[in-house]
Amino acid sequence: MSTENMYRIARDLYAEIGVDTDAAIRRVSDIPVSIQCWQGDDVRGFENPDAGLSGGIQTTGNYPGRARNIDELRADFDFAARLIPGKKKISLHAIYLDNGGKAVPRDEIEPKHFASWIEWARERRYGIDFNPTCFSHPLAADGFTLSHVDPGVRAFWIRHCLASRNIAVAIGRALGQTVCTNYWVPDGFKDIPVDRAAARARLADSYDQIFAEPVDDAFNLDAVESKVFGIGAESCTVGSHEFYMGCALKHNLLLTLDAGHFHPTEVISDKLSSALLYNKKGILLHVSRPVRWDSDHVVIFDDELKAIALEILRYHYEDRIHIGLDYFDASINRVAAWTIGARNMQKALLYAALEPTARLQEMEAKGDYTSRLAYLEELKSYPFSAVWDRYCENCGVPVRDSWIADVQEYENSTLSKR
């Protein structure tokens, strides 16, 4: 059925509460969402796909069809991208390098190892984000990298981060866009340490070295990601939230907030307006779905996802909040996982763009909390889905559930043959 009639009714209904649905669609079409490459192959990469995933993060499940090489990953990503509306970036990790079959030590990676990614992204008008990979490596096997007690190991990871930053700047220059480079290290203690202070001082010193030289903001923005705990590092995470709040302010970096990296009743939607007051640079989001722990489930259209989107749009934070997805589920079709999560992120942004925020804020300012609650609840049953369908149609991507059959077909013809 065509979206036209339903959209017309929805547009009129939203107009009655002062919301311009066409403007909402235009607004959301301009917000890039960075999609994590690592959903496609269970965070293995191409450095050594058989090396297990380490660093206290885990993919569970063995659904058939994971991408085994660079061509398969790109083909799968392209397939998903055709099903997802909106502006896209791909977030790459250093281990997704194109080394032409020749092993390159992680502290020697160069922009040329990402040249084919740049060309691929340029043709498709995708932006790129970047991540040094400080896990799944023999020198990270004991759980420490940038805070390692051995100066030689620590120096190796500093060189890897510097090499990654250099690659990110080169990508940004080549594509004429801004890369967000995210630093996350798994460093932490399984059991209660007696010198967490020294570990944190070493981590701080590593970042002093990594961020010593400024780079051009137009091409690269560095971001640092905290965490509360990891598997095998339950007692103390060296790079805690407080650590990185200070680190980001000191070095003028983006603060990365991952939805799964806080205590289970804490939500990142509430943190944005506080963090941005003091951190003028901005925030990188790792939108994820923690189920009881940092489980990295596929993002669904739940209250917290809507709250994140609402908080971004209510205060016009689009320029300072960079939206990235970070989840990895190996128990379902991975192309579907990409599509479901990214469509949901887009859906939440559009949902937020349809809020009559100024009116609600007026009620709140007057102390009329009754009306605020009443309207917030009534808004939930406005015909949002008709606007969403229209947005998908405008973007030339499948409307409603029609994409599911496409993915099943791709599974039958391609993924299941791997």
Q: Confirm whether 411 is a catalytic residue.
A: no
Among 258, 294, 296, 355, interactor with Zn ion by CB under 5 A: 258
Among 241, 286, 289, 306, interactor with Zn ion by CB under 5 A: 286
Among 156, 184, 207, 243, interactor with ligand RNT by CB under 6 A: 184
Lookup result for tokens 């689009």: 318
Q: Residue 57, interface with ligand RNT (CB under 6 A)?
A: yes
Which residues, in sequence order, are bridge partners of residue 325? 287
Catalytic option among 41, 187, 222, 258: 258
Q: String of b and e for 147-156 (b: at least 16 CB within 10 Å)?
A: bbeeeebbeb
Q: Confirm whether 293 is a catalytic residue.
A: no
Shortest spacing between CB 103 and Zn ion, in angstroms? 27
Q: Are 186 and 140 in contact (CB under 8 A)?
A: yes
DSSP-based three-state secondary structure for 223: strand
Which residues, in sequence order, are bridge partners of residue 189? 236
Q: Residue 57 binds which entry of ligand RNT, Zn ion, none, with Cβ cut-offs from 5 to 8 Å by kind?
A: ligand RNT
Catalytic option among 93, 137, 160, 261: 261
**Distance between CA atoms of residues 175 and 169, nearest Å:** 10
**Distance between CA atoms of residues 153 and 9, nearest Å:** 63
**Distance between CA atoms of residues 73 and 70, nearest Å:** 5
Among 225, 329, 355, 411, interactor with ligand RNT by CB under 6 A: 225
Q: Confirm whether 148 is a catalytic residue.
A: no
Q: Residue 326, interface with Zn ion (CB under 5 A)?
A: yes
x-marked contacts with ligand RNT along 283-302 as a string, rule CB under 6 A? ---x-------x--------
What sign for the dihedral angle of Cα 259, 216, 208, 57? positive
Q: Confirm whether 302 is a catalytic residue.
A: no
Q: Are 121 and 170 in contact (CB under 8 A)?
A: no
Q: Confirm whether 160 is a catalytic residue.
A: no
CB nearer to Zn ion: give 224 or 407.
224
Q: How many CA atoms lie within 13 A of 28 on its CB side?
A: 30
Q: Residue 227 binds which entry of ligand RNT, Zn ion, none, with Cβ cut-offs from 5 to 8 Å by kind?
A: ligand RNT
What does DSSP assign to residue 224?
E
Query: Which candidate, 86, 89, 61, 76, places its Cα nearest to that of 298?
Result: 61
**Helical packing angle, 334-353 and 384-395, nearest 10°:** 120
Distances (CA, A) of 240 to 215, 226, 237, 376: 25, 5, 6, 35
x-marked contacts with ligand RNT along 125-164 as a string, rule CB under 6 A? ------x---------------------------------
x-marked contacts with ligand RNT along 235-274 as a string, rule CB under 6 A? -----------------------x----------------
CB nearer to ligand RNT: give 44 or 372.
44
**DSSP letters of 315-334?**
TT-TTTEEEEE----SSS-H
Among 227, 241, 289, 297, interactor with ligand RNT by CB under 6 A: 227
Among 43, 140, 283, 345, interactor with ligand RNT by CB under 6 A: 43
What does DSSP assign to residue 282?
-
Distances (CA, A) of 218 to 169, 171, 176, 221: 9, 11, 8, 8
Q: Residue 106 binds which entry of Zn ion, ligand RNT, none, with Cβ cut-offs from 5 to 8 Å by kind?
A: none
x-marked contacts with ligand RNT along 311-350 as a string, rule CB under 6 A? ---------------x------------------------
Q: Confirm whether 42 is a catalytic residue.
A: no
Catalytic residues, by residue number, are 184, 225, 227, 258, 261, 286, 294, 296, 326
Q: Which residues bind ligand RNT (CB under 6 A)?
A: 38, 43, 57, 131, 184, 225, 227, 258, 286, 294, 326
